[in-house]
Structure 1
Amino acid sequence: MQQFPDVELSNRLKIPILGLGTSHYGGYSHDAVVYALQQCGVRHIDTAKRYGCEEALSKSISESGVPRDQLWITTKLWPGDYGYRSAKEACRASCQRLGVEYLDLYLMHWPDCGVPGRSNRDVRAETWRALEEMYDEGLCRAIGVSNFLIPHLEELKEDGGVVPHVNQVEFHPFQQPWPLVEFCRREGVAFEGYCPLAKGQALDHPLIVALAHKYGRSASQICIRWSIQNRIITIPKSTKPERIRENCQVFGFTLADGDMERVGRLHTDKKLIRLGYPLWNG
Structure 2
Amino acid sequence: MSIPSTTTSVLLNTGAEMPLLGLGTYKLVGYADVYRAVDAALAAGYRSFDSAAVYRNEADVGRALKELLPKHGSCREDIFITSKLGPKDQGERSMEGALQSLSQLDLGYIDLYLIHWPGTQGMDVTDPRNPGNRAQSWATLEELHAQGKLKAIGVSNYTPAHMKELMQSCKTPPAVLQVEFHPQLCQTELRNVCQEYGVCFQSYSSLGKGELITHPDVMEVAKHCGRTPAQVLLRWAVQQGIPVLPKSSNPDRIKDNAKIFDFTLSDADMDRLSGLDCGHKYCWDASQVI
Deviation (angstroms), 1:24: 2.9
Deviation (angstroms), 1:276: 5.6
Q: Distance in 1 between matches of 2:102 and 2:28?
A: 22
2:235 matched residue in structure 1: 225
Percent identity at matched positions?
37
Match of 2:253, SS? Answer: helix
**Unaligned 5+ runs, structure 2:** 1-5
207-216 or 62-71, which deviates more: 62-71
What do you get for the CA RMSD once the two structures are aligned? 2.0
- State whether structure 2 residue 43 is matched by structure 1 residue 33: no
**8 Å contact 1:24–1:50 — kept in the other structure?**
no
Residue-by-residue CA offset, 1:188-209 (whole Å, 9 max, x unaligned): 1100000011111111111111
Q: 2:85 aligned to 77, 81, 102, which one?
A: 77
1:110 matched residue in structure 2: 117
- State whether structure 2 residue 38 is matched by structure 1 residue 19: no
93-102 or 28-37, which deviates more: 28-37
Deviation (angstroms), 1:29: 3.3
Determine which structure has greater relative contact order: mean sequence separation of CA pairs < 8 Å that are 6+ residues apart, divided by chain length. 2
10-19 or 23-32, which deviates more: 23-32
1:184 matched residue in structure 2: 194
Q: 1:253 aligned to 263, 267, 278, which one?
A: 263
**Unaligned 5+ runs, structure 1:** 278-282
In structure 2, relative to structure 1, the CA distance for the partners of 1:219 and 1:90 (3 Å cut) is: same
**8 Å contact 1:4–1:16 — kept in the other structure?**
no
Counterpart of 2:219, as a letter, is V
2:76 matched residue in structure 1: 68
**8 Å contact 1:175–1:270 — kept in the other structure?**
yes
Q: TM-score, normalised by structure 2?
A: 0.90
Match of 1:199, SS? Answer: coil
1:52 matched residue in structure 2: 56
Q: 2:12 aligned to 9, 12, 28, which one?
A: 9
Q: Distance in 1 between matches of 2:254 and 2:28?
A: 18
- State whether structure 2 residue 108 is matched by structure 1 residue 101: yes
Counterpart of 1:152, as a letter, is H
In structure 2, relative to structure 1, the CA distance for the partners of 1:25 and 1:233 (3 Å cut) is: closer
Match of 2:119, SS? Answer: coil
**8 Å contact 1:6–1:15 — kept in the other structure?**
yes
Counterpart of 2:201, as a letter, is F
Residue-by-residue CA offset, 1:2-47 (whole Å, 9 max, x unaligned): x96110011111100110101137595321211211x111110001
Deviation (angstroms), 1:268: 1.6
Match of 2:209, SS? Answer: helix
Q: Distance in 2 between matches of 1:249 and 1:114?
A: 38
How many aligned residue pairs are there? 274
Instruction: Report 1:132-211 matches (<5 A).
Output: 132-211=142-221
Q: TM-score, normalised by structure 1?
A: 0.92
Q: Distance in 1 between matches of 2:34 and 2:218?
A: 28
**8 Å contact 2:13–2:198 — kept in the other structure?**
yes
Match of 2:248, SS? Answer: coil
Counterpart of 1:69, as a letter, is E
Residue-by-residue CA offset, 1:48-104 (whole Å, 9 max, x unaligned): 0100111111221022123111110000001211225x2222222111111211100
**8 Å contact 2:117–2:155 — kept in the other structure?**
yes
Counterpart of 1:41, as a letter, is G
**8 Å contact 2:115–2:156 — kept in the other structure?**
yes
Deviation (angstroms), 1:118: 5.1
Deviation (angstroms), 1:275: 3.0
In structure 2, relative to structure 1, the CA distance for the partners of 1:248 and 1:57 (3 Å cut) is: same
Match of 2:84, SS? Answer: strand
Counterpart of 2:172, as a letter, is V
**8 Å contact 1:4–1:18 — kept in the other structure?**
no
140-149 or 169-178, which deviates more: 169-178
Counterpart of 1:6, as a letter, is S
